[in-house]
C-alpha cells in the first residue's frame, strides 16, 4: 500500500489582478483548475469545479475513471447552473486536471492546458496532452515544442469545462511505485519552465520546497499568469497518516481562487505575502509595485482581456458526421435536379442527319460526351441520301437544325423539294 505526501501552492503572479487558478491536494485527490473568462469570472469557474472535484477525496472503489468522469460531469453541470442564475457569467470556463489515488494507482482526468507530470528515477514524463491550438500544430508537425512557447496563439485552449459543451476529458490510469513524484500545475508554470528545468526543481527537497521553488522560478522566468503547483511524493505506507514538517497529520490543502472565495463571497483587494501556511492559503508573493513600466500596467487597461479570448471552443463533434452527410445529400439532390432538367430539355430537341444511307430525324442534341450519346434515332424517312446534291449530303453528315419536331419535318420536306422531280419520293 502506498500513500501521498503532498504540498499545494498558488500565486496570483506579478501581472494579473486576480487569481483565477484553484487547486486542491488531499490524501486521495490532487487537482488543478485554471479559470478562463476574464470579465466572465474565471475564478468562479475554477473554484466551482474544485469544490465539486474535492468530493472525490476519499478512498475510491475499483472504477477510478468512472469516478473521475462523473465528478467532471458534475462540475460541468454546476457551472451551467451558475450561468443560468447569473447571465453575466456566460463565457466563463475552466481547465481541469484531476488525479484520483487508490493506494496503488491514479486515475487521471484532463481537460484544457493544465498539466500532470511524473518524475520517476530522475526522468520527467508529461502525462497529459494539452487541448490547445498550438498543440494541434505540434501534432501536425507544423511547429516544434520550442516554437509553441512563443507562438502568438499559445494561450488559446480548445477544451474546457464551460457548462455548455460536454468536454469529453482524456481519461487514463497510471500505476505508481514508491519514490515517484507527481506534479500538477497550471500553464503559468508549464508555459515558462521547460522539462529540464522542471525536472531539476522537482528532483530536490520536499514537496513543500519543490512547490515553492516551482512558483518562484515561474515568476522569475517571466510568467504573466497565475501560477499553481501541486507536488506529491509516493511513499510506502505503514498505516499511519502522512505528516507535515511539524509532525502533525497532513491536512487537505485548498489554494487559489477556491480558498479566496470560500473566505469571502465578494472580491477584495489582493494582499501579497510569501507562502505562510498550508490549508486555505493562496501563497501569493509580493504584490506588483506601483512603479512598474507602463507596458506592464497596460495589460490591465487593455479593453480586450486576453482571458476573454483564451477559450476557443470547437463545435460539438457528436453530430458533425450527420451535418456533413446531410450537406452531401443536399448537394447530390441539387446535382440530380440539374441533370434531370438538362436531360428533359435535350429530349425536346430534334435534328436531321444521315444514318445508313437515309435521312433520319434524331431526338436529342447533336453532340456527344465521352461514353454517352445525347441523341437517338426518332423517325426514318424514305429519302435516300445519294439522291441529294453533294452540298446537302455534307450538311446531313454534320447534322441539320436543332429545334422542335415540326422544324425537323420542315427540313425533310425542303430536302424532298430540292431533289430531281423524277427521283422524288414523298
Q: What is the per-residue DSSP string for 230-254?
A: EEEEEEE--SSPPB-TTSSBPPPEE
CB-based contact 373:365 (threshold 8 Å): no
- Lowest mean pLDDT segment, chosen from 173-182, 309-318, 333-342: 309-318
Give the pLDDT mean for 131-149.
91
Per residue in 303-333, pLDDT (tens digit) is 456 676 788 765 544 556 777 888 899 999 9
pLDDT attached to residue 200: 97
CB-based contact 180:231 (threshold 8 Å): no
Residue 303: closest CA among 45, 36, 39? 39
Kindly indicate whether the domain formed by 2-309 is annotated with CATH number 3.30.70.60: no
Which residue in this structure is represented by grid cell 491550438?
Answer: 133
Instruction: Say how far apart CA 30 and CA 53 lie, in whole Å.
Output: 9
Which residues make Cβ contacts (< 8 Å) with residue 119, sequence separation at least 6?
125, 180, 181, 182, 183, 199, 202, 203
Domains 2-309 and 350-423 share a fold: no
Residue 47's pLDDT band (cuts 50, 70, 90): very high
Give the pLDDT mean for 3-30.
96
Cell of residue 186, nine digits: 497550471
Q: How many CA atoms lie within 13 A of 274 on its CB side?
A: 3
Q: What percent of the chain has pLDDT over 90?
A: 53
Q: What does each C-alpha distance from 406 to 329, 350, 378, 381 come to in angstroms? A: 40, 9, 13, 14
Give the pLDDT mean for 365-379.
81
C-alpha of 126 from chain center: 20
Residue 358: closest CA among 378, 384, 377, 391? 384
Indicate whether 289 pLDDT > 70. Answer: no
Higher pLDDT, 386 or 18: 18
CB-based contact 18:43 (threshold 8 Å): yes
Indicate whether 337 pLDDT > 70. Answer: yes
Listed by start position, the domains of the chain span 2-309, 350-423
* DSSP β-ladder status, 105-111 and 115-120: unpaired
Indicate whether 286 pLDDT > 60. Answer: no
As separate numbers, helices (DSSP H) first and strands (DSSP E) second, the chain gives: 12, 16
For 401, the 3-state DSSP assignment is: strand
Indicate whether 282 pLDDT > 70. Answer: no
Instruction: Say how far apart CA 228 and CA 185 lie, in whole Å.
Output: 5
CB-based contact 382:426 (threshold 8 Å): yes
Residue 31: closest CA among 14, 11, 4, 8? 8
pLDDT attached to residue 305: 60
DSSP 139-165: HTTSS-HHHHTT-TTTT-BS--B-SSS
For 108, the 3-state DSSP assignment is: strand
Indicate whether 7 pLDDT > 70. Answer: yes
Question: Is the sign of the CA dihedral 32, 128, 242, 226 positive or negative?
Answer: negative
Cell of residue 133, nine digits: 491550438
The packing angle between helices 195-202 and 207-220, to 10°, is 150
CB-based contact 385:354 (threshold 8 Å): yes
pLDDT attached to residue 306: 65
Residue 100: closest CA among 62, 48, 138? 62
Long-range contacts of 74-79 (CB under 8 A, 24+ apart): 75/48, 75/49, 75/161, 76/161, 76/162, 76/163, 76/166, 76/167, 77/163, 78/48, 78/49, 78/51, 78/52, 78/163, 79/45, 79/48, 79/49, 79/161, 79/162, 79/163
Instruction: Say how far apart CA 151 and CA 254 lie, in whole Å.
Output: 33
Long-range contacts of 342-346 (CB under 8 A, 24+ apart): 346/374, 346/375
Residue 260: closest CA among 248, 243, 273, 249? 273
Q: What percent of the chain has pLDDT over 70?
A: 85
Phi, psi of 373 (to 5 degrees): -95, 135
Fold category of 350-423 in CATH: Alpha-Beta Plaits (3.30.70)
Amino acid at each position: 500500500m502506498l500513500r501521498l505526501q503532498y504540498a499545494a501552492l498558488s500565486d496570483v503572479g506579478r501581472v494579473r489582478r486576480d487569481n483565477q487558478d484553484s487547486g486542491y491536494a488531499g490524501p486521495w485527490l490532487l487537482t488543478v483548475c485554471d479559470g478562463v473568462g476574464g470579465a466572465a469570472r474565471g475564478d468562479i469557474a475554477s473554484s466551482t469545479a474544485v469544490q465539486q472535484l474535492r468530493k472525490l477525496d476519499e478512498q475510491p472503489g475499483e472504477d477510478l475513471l468512472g469516478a473521475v468522469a462523473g465528478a467532471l460531469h458534475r462540475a460541468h453541470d454546476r457551472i451551467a447552473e451558475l450561468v443560468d442564475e447569473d447571465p453575466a457569467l456566460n463565457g466563463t470556463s475552466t481547465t481541469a486536471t484531476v488525479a484520483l489515488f487508490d493506494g496503488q494507482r491514479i486515475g487521471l482526468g484532463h481537460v484544457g492546458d493544465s498539466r500532470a507530470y511524473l518524475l520517476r528515477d530522475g526522468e520527467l514524463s508529461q502525462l497529459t496532452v494539452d487541448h490547445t491550438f498550438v498543440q494541434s500544430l505540434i501534432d501536425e508537425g507544423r511547429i516544434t515544442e520550442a516554437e509553441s512557447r512563443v507562438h502568438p496563439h499559445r494561450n488559446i485552449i480548445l477544451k474546457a469545462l464551460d457548462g455548455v459543451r460536454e468536454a469529453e476529458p482524456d481519461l487514463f490510469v497510471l500505476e505508481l511505485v514508491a519514490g515517484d513524484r507527481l506534479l500538477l500545475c497550471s500553464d503559468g508554470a508549464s508555459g515558462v519552465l521547460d522539462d529540464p528545468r522542471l525536472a531539476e526543481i522537482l528532483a530536490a527537497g520536499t514537496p513543500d520546497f519543490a512547490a515553492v521553488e516551482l512558483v518562484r522560478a515561474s515568476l522569475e522566468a517571466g510568467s504573466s499568469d497565475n501560477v499553481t503547483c501541486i507536488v506529491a511524493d509516493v511513499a510506502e505506507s505503514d498505516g499511519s497518516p502522512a505528516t507535515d514538517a511539524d509532525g502533525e497529520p497532513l491536512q487537505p490543502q485548498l489554494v487559489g481562487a477556491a480558498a479566496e472565495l470560500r473566505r469571502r463571497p465578494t472580491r477584495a483587494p489582493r494582499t501579497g505575502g510569501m507562502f505562510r501556511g498550508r490549508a486555505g492559503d493562496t501563497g501569493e508573493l509580493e504584490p506588483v509595485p506601483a512603479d512598474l513600466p507602463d507596458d506592464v500596467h497596460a495589460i490591465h487597461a487593455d479593453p480586450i482581456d486576453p482571458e476573454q479570448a483564451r477559450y476557443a471552443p470547437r463545435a460539438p463533434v457528436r453530430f458533425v458526421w450527420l451535418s456533413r452527410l446531410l450537406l452531401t445529400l443536399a448537394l447530390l439532390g441539387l446535382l440530380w435536379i440539374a441533370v434531370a432538367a438538362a436531360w428533359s430539355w435535350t429530349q425536346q430537341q430534334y435534328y436531321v442527319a444521315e444514318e445508313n444511307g437515309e435521312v433520319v430525324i434524331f431526338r436529342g442534341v447533336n453532340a456527344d460526351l465521352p461514353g454517352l450519346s445525347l441523341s437517338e434515332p426518332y423517325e426514318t424517312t424514305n429519302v435516300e441520301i445519294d439522291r441529294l446534291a453533294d452540298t446537302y449530303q455534307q450538311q446531313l453528315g454534320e447534322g441539320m437544325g436543332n429545334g422542335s419536331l415540326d422544324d425537323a419535318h420542315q427540313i425533310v420536306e425542303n430536302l424532298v423539294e430540292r431533289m430531281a422531280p423524277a427521283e422524288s419520293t414523298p
